[in-house]
């Protein structure tokens, strides 16, 4: 288990549907094979994958065509023979100088069939469909190599898409290819895909967009059927809604919460989320009174519990480091060790005047089932925190929170559900004041809820579950957790880093 700032550096986890990324990381653990210049590997459904065969009538690479919505923004399309990835040629797109540049090479992959893509299983007219309803059991591995030259923004201007089509050629589902790594002077893109029910073909699009200058090469394209399915990743998460009887002490609190962790673990929980400041609640003590170093008595006590029941635990404490005191969320691993910590970045005035120091980063942590993020109480009032964790790869965010009493508690679940929806993540919150601790799925649905009473909410979640929405981004169905990491315009968000007077931090 390791802290995963960016999750592999150039892997660009901030551009991946996070519920797919962790599983893809091991599903793609297959030795690299460069496509032969003589033709495709056996099983490759792409015609002319190495751009070697030229159609003499059109002078274009056989099986490929290029498109642009208007001539005035069209880039220049060529076959490049100066530096192909292998063989004689590569596809090339070059900007003609327009900031509105948009154009793409496209190839249609035929031969996509299977028992789950018969007409009677085609997607219905429903607006929303689950993965079980929408997807077949036909899995494909896409791979290509691309090389940008003088393109100002790779994430903004170099785009790869797959459009799945039915027997009439109508678009069923569109998705981005967003997982790629540098490999020498090129980038290697590779992604595991599942065909929707009713699919008969797929379009591969290589796009240059919104680039005033620069060019991109593409080569060695493969689209192969694979028997490696995307496995389910089922875990059981628990969150508590309890306050120790007052007056209490830190030691009594630890015993009190140990009982709650034990009960949740015996109920099968893989992960238990406790509240904020578990050593200060109900004690009447100051932050500094209960602050402790790491490791310390609380981390050791929680570690013993985690080890005994092979469970992860999240809990809020007050951490001392030298003269500084932080409001810290701890992550304890199944082996009892401190896997990670997060120092609360957004402090309400009462904590500022109480002598606390804010944190300054948003780490995420790889555990045995995926990637998680932590935030604490007032952080959830600021949408940037959850988004920062999500773009770093978090699939679940755990939130110890004292409470959110705005509008007499009305806003609590509305805001929490919004954070889950915006970022296509699960959110697990432990709340004192409203006694509403809950588990929320990426669609904003509350899966388990203590309902305003003391108790423990437990839910089983599948981190590879997927939801598809008609007319979301694409003409057919789209999937939010695969769309927003690519389509968000981070180059326009500079205003978020300044105050109302235009001053930077």
Query: So where are the chain's domains?
Result: 34-230, 234-464
Low-confidence ranges of the chain (pLDDT < 70): 1-41, 114-124, 229, 500-505
Residue 255 Cα distances to 14, 258, 301, 412, angstroms: 40, 5, 9, 29
Location of structure tokens 């090339």: 92
Q: pTM of the prediction? A: 0.89
Collapsing DSSP to helix, strand or coil, 441 comes out as coil
Q: Which of 263, 341, 262, 264 is nearest to 302 (CA)?
A: 262
**Confidence (pLDDT) at 39:** 46
Distance CA 375, CA 328 (A): 9
Distance CA 148, CA 117 (A): 36
Distance CA 441, CA 458 (A): 13
Residue 404 Cα distances to 15, 253, 345, angstroms: 31, 22, 17
Distance CA 16, CA 267 (A): 33
**Confidence (pLDDT) at 3:** 47
122, with CB counted inside 10 A (0-12, 13-18, 19+), is middle
- Rounding to the nearest 10 degrees, give the CA dihedral for residues 18, 20, 21, 27: 170
243, with CB counted inside 10 A (0-12, 13-18, 19+), is middle
Cis peptide before 295, with omega less than 30 degrees from 0? Answer: yes
At residue 408, φ and ψ (nearest 5 deg) are: 55, 35
CB 265 within 8 A of CB 309: yes
Q: Give every strand in the sheet of 338-343, ordered side by side.
A: 338-343, 324-332, 312-321, 271-273, 234-241, 455-462
> Quick one: angle between helices 18-27 and 480-487, nearest 10?
100
The yes/no answer on whether domain 234-464 falls in CATH 3.60.110.10 is yes
CB 274 within 8 A of CB 299: no
How does strand 128-130 pair with strand 271-273?
unpaired
**Confidence (pLDDT) at 278:** 98
Q: What angle do CA 255, 256, 261 make, to 5 degrees?
A: 90
How does strand 426-431 pair with strand 396-401?
parallel
The residues that bridge with 317 in the sheet, in sequence order, are 328
Fold of 34-230: Jelly Rolls (2.60.120)
Distance CA 113, CA 197 (A): 9
Question: Which helix (H) or strand (E) is 343 found in, with range?
Answer: strand 338-343
**Confidence (pLDDT) at 113:** 75
For 170-195, b/e burial (b = at least 16 CB within 10 A) is eebbbbbbbbbeeeeebbbbbbbbbb
CB 480 within 8 A of CB 471: no
Distance CA 257, CA 75 (A): 63
For 484-505, b/e burial (b = at least 16 CB within 10 A) is bbbeeeeeeeeeeeeeeeeeee
**Confidence (pLDDT) at 502:** 65
Distance CA 459, CA 444 (A): 14
Distance CA 219, CA 183 (A): 13
**Confidence (pLDDT) at 499:** 74
């Amino acid at each position: 288990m390791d802290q995963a700032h960016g999750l592999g550096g150039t892997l660009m986890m901030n551009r991946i549907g996070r519920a797919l990324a962790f599983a893809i990381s091991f599903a793609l653990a297959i030795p690299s094979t460069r496509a032969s210049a003589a033709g495709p590997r056996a099983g490759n459904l792409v015609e002319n994958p190495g751009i070697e065969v030229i159609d003499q009538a059109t002078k274009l690479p056989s099986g490929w065509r290029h498109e642009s919505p208007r001539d005035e923004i069209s880039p220049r399309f060529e076959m490049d023979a100066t530096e192909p990835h292998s063989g004689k040629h590569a596809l090339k797109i070059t900007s003609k100088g327009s900031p509105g540049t948009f154009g793409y090479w496209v190839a249609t992959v035929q031969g996509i069939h299977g028992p789950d893509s018969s007409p009677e299983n085609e997607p219905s007219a429903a607006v929303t469909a689950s993965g079980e309803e929408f997807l077949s059991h036909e899995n494909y591995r896409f791979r290509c190599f691309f090389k940008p030259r003088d393109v100002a923004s790779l994430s903004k201007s170099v785009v790869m898409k797959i459009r799945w089509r039915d027997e009439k050629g109508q678009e069923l589902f569109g998705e981005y290819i967003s997982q790629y790594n540098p490999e020498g002077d090129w980038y290697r893109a590779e992604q595991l895909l599942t065909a929707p029910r009713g699919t008969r073909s797929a379009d591969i699009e290589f796009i240059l967009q919104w680039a005033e200058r620069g060019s991109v090469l593409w080569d060695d394209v493969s689209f192969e059927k694979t028997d490696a399915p995307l496995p389910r990743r089922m875990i059981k998460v628990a969150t508590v809604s309890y306050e120790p009887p007052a007056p209490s002490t830190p030691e009594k609190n630890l015993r009190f919460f140990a009982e709650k962790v034990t009960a949740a673990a015996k109920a099968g929980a893989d992960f238990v989320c406790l509240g904020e400041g578990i050593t200060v609640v109900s004690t009447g003590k100051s932050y500094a009174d209960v602050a402790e170093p790491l490791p310390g008595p609380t981390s050791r006590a929680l570690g013993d519990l985690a080890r005994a029941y092979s469970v992860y635990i999240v809990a809020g404490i007050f951490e001392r480091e030298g003269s500084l005191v932080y409001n810290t969320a701890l992550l304890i691993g199944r082996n009892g060790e401190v896997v990670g910590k997060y120092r609360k970045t957004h402090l309400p005035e009462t904590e500022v005047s109480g002598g606390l120091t804010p944190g300054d980063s948003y780490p995420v942590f790889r555990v045995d089932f995926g990637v998680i993020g932590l935030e604490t109480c007032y952080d959830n009032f600021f949408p940037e925190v959850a988004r920062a964790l999500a773009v770093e790869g978090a699939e679940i965010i755990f939130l110890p929170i004292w409470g959110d009493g705005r509008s007499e508690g009305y806003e609590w679940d509305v805001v929490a559900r919004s954070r889950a929806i915006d970022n296509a993540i699960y959110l697990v919150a432990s709340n004192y004041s409203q006694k509403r601790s809950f588990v929320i799925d990426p669609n904003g649905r509350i899966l388990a809820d203590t309902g305003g009473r003391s108790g423990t909410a437990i839910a089983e979640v599948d981190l590879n579950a997927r939801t598809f929405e008609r007319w979301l981004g694409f003409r057919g169905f789209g999937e939010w957790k695969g769309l927003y990491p690519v389509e968000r315009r981070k180059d326009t968000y500079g205003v978020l880093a300044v105050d109302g007077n235009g001053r930077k931090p």
